[in-house]
Structure 1
């Protein structure tokens, strides 16, 4: 898989990175991927079948957390780490404006696209709520209020809900997928600096509600923290099967439900827009890709249409399931808000699978940058592991395993939520059939995305 986050689309990629991507994908195409794809789809289908015969409480019991220890987090420590991250971000923006133009050397693209977008998002979704400590606006907001004595003059409009966060994440995805050079240090510095100040202004005007509903990255991280195996329950640090906080949590708002689907839809299009299929639709020769500047409008349109299509298909599956279950049908909006978070395991799994190879390669640039900052000898950056069948097969199996595991957890979550809603086992199973078929089909689609030829 190509290291898209550092590419910048045009001349930003080094020859080694391009060659590494081509080598890995070439070996993947030699693997019996059709067998793996069929096995992944069958695994998800068998999970659905097992839920039909196992006791109704089985899925609910799987998501019961286990308390480990009582702990009261230090508010002061949280503000201190937030201020430290804000200072670091300011330095990174300055280096983006004044440092080297090579995104593999300048620390800003490495920090944003590798450390944050690949590593921190993954840790947030798998391990626990690290964003609580690293949010770069919380500490500055508290400090400004303490120094000025000013309180937020406006109340955040309840009618806006999470919709500003939805639009913000779509803009973020559009910048990542359609901008000609998202990894260009100077360009990225302007975008990051402007966004930080804009969100700080919103925080000072509307208070903390702005961050948790309108700031796209905080909404993203708060959504993914519901997936992590570590969390708090009844005042205790607890551990459980990933997604246990979704099983225990309240039904989300319509805006946040759409945000969950847009996470999945945008991540899926992040893979589609590189494929021979997509380039063929655009009438481009995949082996002579003209550059990202030639596909700006098609990629923006594709991103929007991919998310609309996913929302429509998901809503249709829920509507059909409610009709199949019989009885008094519930409102589609309520079903949509109840089951949308069950797609978070799939979105996170795709994020991990899609960027695994980029992490293994671009992570070396991060380590090299840290070594230079500490005055140590330069590290050798190698893509040799992508040019031998053994490591490539291990990477592919890890990616495929993550995708299948994400779908299995999603199905278990959907069943647990159906049982928690008071549905009998028969009604829950019947109502889940269209949604389960949707997830099986998406499993096959996701594995196909990992295996298909790429030309962008």
Structure 2
């Protein structure tokens, strides 16, 4: 018998190198940074914090609603081209453009851009243009009024359904399966908008509520009739208290994102009786992950409400718990965005290359639409400890900065609502402890070994 040796293509796992880093030192430094921010804010005059969140006016620019309909129609055409590719293109999710654009370009890239730079979603949602065209051509008008008592439950349910597919579906990246999901959801939302009118977009459509929530954090926005730029969170502070449904939605954004990382860890797999070194496949843990998603979100909402209630009790405030939860919920958004960036950074570095290659050759026929020639995806940045250290510190930095901004936003809200540095600082003590501990939790997630 003879054995023929040949080349093997492989790369060292990024997580393996992370376990070799002094993550305990980095985690301690990150937690200390957030804790010191809490102490510093308790001593600083309120005017300093107010000045930090004051936006700088930019050029005046008019609103262009008709142009938004054109860009929405263009996004609709792109979406259906991707659905067609999902049904008729290659079956490999790393060469078919639909999975790459849904899970990488949209869910990772667009959500991040939305939170950092502005409300891009308002220009490219794939429903506004088609619905406006349908109404104009057929004279269709909304036939039902969306009941106010439903609040934002539609948006909450559609968002949780999306996260459940992301975390628990046996094959969320299968092109044909994903095409069915995308087409079904697009048609469902299209019919809901025709039936209930634009109110559905604000109360029932989960992605639009998600994008508007993250847009509250963007550096750029409108201040009156002028554009403006300011510290992350200035738009959320200017908009004031959201309704209860939006406040709960914001908390679910954080809870769902956190469980998205937790469900991959050895700790979680041990809790549900799965050997992480012999993972049986996603189909074996569907119910466990769906239940974990719901429990994690319920626990986060309960702990957040308890911290807010404790803060009100400490200063003997007459504000009700519901009002206070709505008031402070936007301060959670920087944490959610920071963890979103950190959690998906490594996958974006790799899958973003596959998305570019798929755009260059969407049907895997050897096309060269972008003139990139032979395109080779590299994962060389996972092969050395030095490059992995840079990646991990970038992830940890996103988590820490998100918590620092959250502490600053919460303190600014308390100053505006309760008055006086001492009173605001005391009211924020329980919530500050929560944010410091959540920093520890988020950094622990980044450093924990994973079994998927």
- Tell me which interval the TM-score lies in, with the shorter structure as reference length: over 0.9
| The one of 161, 171, 174 aligned to 1:181 | 171
In the alignment, which residue of structure 1 is the partner of 2:5?
A: none
2:185 equivalent to 1:221: no
| The one of 328, 337, 359 aligned to 1:339 | 328
In the alignment, which residue of structure 1 is the partner of 2:388?
A: 392
Shift in Å, 1:25: 0.5
**Structure 1 runs of 4+ with >6 Å offset:** none
Q: When the two structures are superposed, what TM-score results if normalisation uses the length of structure 1?
A: 0.94
- The separation in 2 between residues aligned to 1:116 and 1:365, in whole angstroms, is 14
| The one of 108, 120, 126 aligned to 2:110 | 120
Shift in Å, 1:422: 4.1
2:351 equivalent to 1:369: no
2:288 equivalent to 1:298: yes
Q: When the two structures are superposed, what TM-score results if normalisation uses the length of structure 2?
A: 0.95
2:119–2:215: 8 Å Cα contact kept in structure 1?
yes
2:56 equivalent to 1:66: yes
Shift in Å, 1:364: 0.7
In the alignment, which residue of structure 2 is the partner of 1:10?
A: none
In the alignment, which residue of structure 2 is the partner of 1:433?
A: 429
Q: Could you say what secondary structure the match of 2:59 adopts?
A: strand
2:151 equivalent to 1:161: yes
In the alignment, which residue of structure 2 is the partner of 1:132?
A: 122
Shift in Å, 1:95: 1.3
1:229–1:239: 8 Å Cα contact kept in structure 2?
yes
1:60–1:420: 8 Å Cα contact kept in structure 2?
no
Shift in Å, 1:323: 1.2
1:57–1:419: 8 Å Cα contact kept in structure 2?
no
Shift in Å, 1:61: 1.8
| The one of 259, 275, 285 aligned to 1:285 | 275
Q: Per-residue CA shift, 1:241-288, capped at 9, x if unaligned?
A: 011011111211111111000000000000000000001111111111
| The one of 191, 204, 213 aligned to 1:201 | 191
- The separation in 1 between residues aligned to 2:395 and 2:83, in whole angstroms, is 33
Residues 141-156 of structure 1: pairs in structure 2 closer than 5 A: 141-156=131-146
Moved more, 334-343 or 370-379: 370-379
- The separation in 2 between residues aligned to 1:209 and 1:371, in whole angstroms, is 38
| The one of 209, 230, 240 aligned to 2:220 | 230
- The separation in 1 between residues aligned to 2:381 and 2:390, in whole angstroms, is 11
In the alignment, which residue of structure 2 is the partner of 1:11?
A: none
2:22 equivalent to 1:32: yes
- The separation in 2 between residues aligned to 1:363 and 1:391, in whole angstroms, is 18
1:325–1:427: 8 Å Cα contact kept in structure 2?
yes
Q: Could you say what secondary structure the match of 2:361 adopts?
A: helix
- The separation in 1 between residues aligned to 2:435 and 2:36, in whole angstroms, is 12
- The separation in 1 between residues aligned to 2:199 and 2:47, in whole angstroms, is 36
Tell me the matched-pair count. Answer: 438
2:315–2:423: 8 Å Cα contact kept in structure 1?
yes
| The one of 415, 421, 438 aligned to 2:417 | 421
| The one of 319, 327, 336 aligned to 1:330 | 319
Q: Per-residue CA shift, 1:306-353, capped at 9, x if unaligned?
A: 000000000000111111123x43210001000011100000000000
2:311–2:430: 8 Å Cα contact kept in structure 1?
yes
Moved more, 40-49 or 142-151: 142-151
Structure 1 alignment gaps of length 5 or more: 1-14
Shift in Å, 1:370: 2.1
Q: Per-residue CA shift, 1:16-47, capped at 9, x if unaligned?
A: 7xx65x62111111111001111111100000
Q: Per-residue CA shift, 1:408-436, capped at 9, x if unaligned?
A: 00010001111122422111100000000
2:388 equivalent to 1:379: no
- The separation in 2 between residues aligned to 1:312 and 1:251, in whole angstroms, is 19
Shift in Å, 1:75: 1.8
2:97–2:359: 8 Å Cα contact kept in structure 1?
no
In the alignment, which residue of structure 2 is the partner of 1:191?
A: 181
Q: Per-residue CA shift, 1:74-121, capped at 9, x if unaligned?
A: 222211110011011111111111211100011110110111001100
2:418–2:424: 8 Å Cα contact kept in structure 1?
no
1:315–1:336: 8 Å Cα contact kept in structure 2?
yes
Shift in Å, 1:355: 0.4
In the alignment, which residue of structure 1 is the partner of 2:4?
A: none
